[in-house]
Structure 1
């Protein structure tokens, strides 16, 4: 459980409360206590959330529960609801629609990702997130150290409270330098975004939602950058370093959150996912087909980031044997069924489907971050940094799996393996 408290008009409220358990007694909401939900929360008719958005809290809720404190005035009038809870109610004996259990998990802020060995031309920083409603400003800082007051090679600061602009600057020897402004604001309140910083010999090329946004010339050598930090009015889904990893060539590092206190020369902490050895393919076209040189190996990880467009029905990620039409692992998000089907096609025959999930990360209009790791006995799949499912090998000579195929209703941000 992640619980961070802040004071809202004299009351202690948890602005981010993430609960993932099979059984959770509602200590915060007693049986019969009123529970205020945002209007329009339920897409299906529900006796617990009618036009007024008011329901009653049960003695316990089961399933994956995501609770989020409402900020002052955000959810109707002068009421200040404490929690918005999604799950199974023992009062109604029903689950809400499955997609209500499937929200991107925000990283705690401030968030810091270490840059091992500094930045170099050819490397990129990839950020996924959402601009919340009623935002004022957020920032991404390329800092030369984790300590307060360290030099900042690039300060990227979208501001909604001073004319909708992006401020770019650097901070050196305790002083801010001259600001540069970008007035064509590509970020919009309440909407998700993807942000890509590409390091070139001359500076930083910045893209937002696949569109060039602005550039910033180097004032401080990028090799001095040790940490990339994100903070402010931002719902951060992921922040990844692409290229220049410890394995040589390209690479990706999945950091642990909250690393602001790390020492400059401290090695990165152990992670649940290894680094990628190959270069990333940015914004590839769909259908997408690529080959794994030498086939899959144990601990090989494939990363797929993308966007599920509005109106999408389904898409497919297939791990295939190039010499045949067989599919060792078929991942099939079906938006119209609100499920993710996994299966194998061997010797021309489909096997039994697997559908159970702790949550569904594929939602219309939302970005996703999928990591598929090949183990000796099974595939382990992570979504947005959280375990999603395991899939035991049905085709055991996984070294012969040499083709990745992605097609259907999906917009790819990048693929790396």
Structure 2
């Protein structure tokens, strides 16, 4: 970016977080702007005939180690003599007292539409248009920024809605960071560490690049998205490109989330909650990394590592 150049303005507020269609479970995604009273999450899908249980977690973060707090854990169970639903809260690694509903408004083999409505003090849940339960918050709703869906469930769509789209106050957009940007990695990377980038693709985008550099400023690994040919690829230090065989999930004026999970000798990649495979790097190379660089025609809202 040249000196004095300004970032493109944020889009109009009617451009909300897009729904996800047919996501692969387990599915984890950012709730942009977090949860607040007046928001609603829609979950549409099918319960498999052999389902035992599934869960919908409204999480305070998306780390793997340590496990994040779960403000609201919604857990239908079909495999017991009397199918039921459990709601609970995980705080500092410990589950609190369960809240149990003996009547289960979901059936194996049947389609469903679940609405999670968030009020000032409690969440209300409806199933197929009928009120089902309500659960009082045990952790502040403002801490929730991640949705996780796990278990025996086929998801057709996940949507994020405002009950009153004309209500004042609040915004879907956190404060942005200028791009290009650089983030130090003083301890390198190690197995179990997660790097999360959240942002918005600008109008008429050209490219997006995420690079990891070692102490000699060498670039052992680069992830590059090209909007010209709609490809996503790992780029080696010698310029060789290894295409990632997956649908191109970056769209102009739409949010994105890139997640890199460090494991023994490499990095696993997920984009918008979809796992896209891994790249090998070597444990020693991971430990020597000292800098994360991001560039391209995007607006960044979060860099977490």
In 1, are the aligned partners of 2:266 and 2:281 still within 8 Å (CA)? yes
Residue of structure 1 in register with 2:299 after alignment: 411
Residue 148 (structure 2) pairs with residue 294 (structure 1): no
- Residue of structure 2 aligned with 1:306, choices 185, 190, 199: 199
- Residue of structure 1 aligned with 2:91, choices 117, 132, 149: 117
Residue of structure 1 in register with 2:43 after alignment: 108
Residue 162 (structure 2) pairs with residue 158 (structure 1): yes
Query: TM-score, length-normalised on structure 2?
Result: 0.51
Q: Secondary structure at the match of 2:220?
A: strand
Residue of structure 1 in register with 2:217 after alignment: 325
Residues of 1 paired with 2:254 and 2:123: CA distance? 33
Residue 277 (structure 2) pairs with residue 389 (structure 1): yes
Q: How many residues align structurally? A: 184
Q: Deviation at 1:17?
A: 6.7
In 2, are the aligned partners of 1:140 and 1:157 still within 8 Å (CA)? no
Residues of 1 paired with 2:116 and 2:91: CA distance? 26
Q: Secondary structure at the match of 1:108?
A: strand
In 1, are the aligned partners of 2:199 and 2:255 still within 8 Å (CA)? yes
Q: Deviation at 1:389?
A: 2.5
Are the structure 2 counterparts of residues 209 and 382 from structure 1 closer, same or farther at C-alpha, using a change threshold of 3 Å?
Answer: same
CA deviation digits over 1:267-323, x for unaligned, max 9? Answer: xxxxxxxxxxxxxxx6322111111231111121100011111200002100111x3
Residues of 1 paired with 2:225 and 2:265: CA distance? 23
Structure (1/2) with the larger strand percentage: 2
Are the structure 2 counterparts of residues 364 and 138 from structure 1 closer, same or farther at C-alpha, using a change threshold of 3 Å?
Answer: farther
Q: Secondary structure at the match of 2:287?
A: helix
Residues of 1 paired with 2:209 and 2:163: CA distance? 38
Gaps of 5+ in 2: 1-19, 25-40, 46-55, 59-69, 72-89, 93-114, 126-132, 143-159
Residue of structure 1 in register with 2:147 after alignment: none
Are the structure 2 counterparts of residues 149 and 107 from structure 1 closer, same or farther at C-alpha, using a change threshold of 3 Å?
Answer: closer
Are the structure 2 counterparts of residues 149 and 375 from structure 1 closer, same or farther at C-alpha, using a change threshold of 3 Å?
Answer: closer
Q: Deviation at 1:380?
A: 0.2
Gaps of 5+ in 1: 1-15, 21-105, 119-136, 167-181, 185-205, 211-281
Larger RCO: Structure 1 or Structure 2 (Cα < 8 Å, ≥ 6 residues apart)?
Answer: 2
Are the structure 2 counterparts of residues 17 and 309 from structure 1 closer, same or farther at C-alpha, using a change threshold of 3 Å?
Answer: closer
Q: Deviation at 1:374?
A: 1.5
Q: Deviation at 1:144?
A: 5.0
In 1, are the aligned partners of 2:265 and 2:286 still within 8 Å (CA)? no
Are the structure 2 counterparts of residues 301 and 351 from structure 1 closer, same or farther at C-alpha, using a change threshold of 3 Å?
Answer: same
Q: Deviation at 1:143?
A: 5.4
Query: TM-score, length-normalised on structure 1?
Result: 0.38
CA deviation digits over 1:337-392, x for unaligned, max 9? Answer: 100121122xxxx1421113222221222211111011112210011222013111
In 2, are the aligned partners of 1:304 and 1:370 still within 8 Å (CA)? yes
Residue 173 (structure 2) pairs with residue 209 (structure 1): yes
Residue 220 (structure 2) pairs with residue 341 (structure 1): no
- Residue of structure 1 aligned with 2:268, choices 365, 377, 380: 380
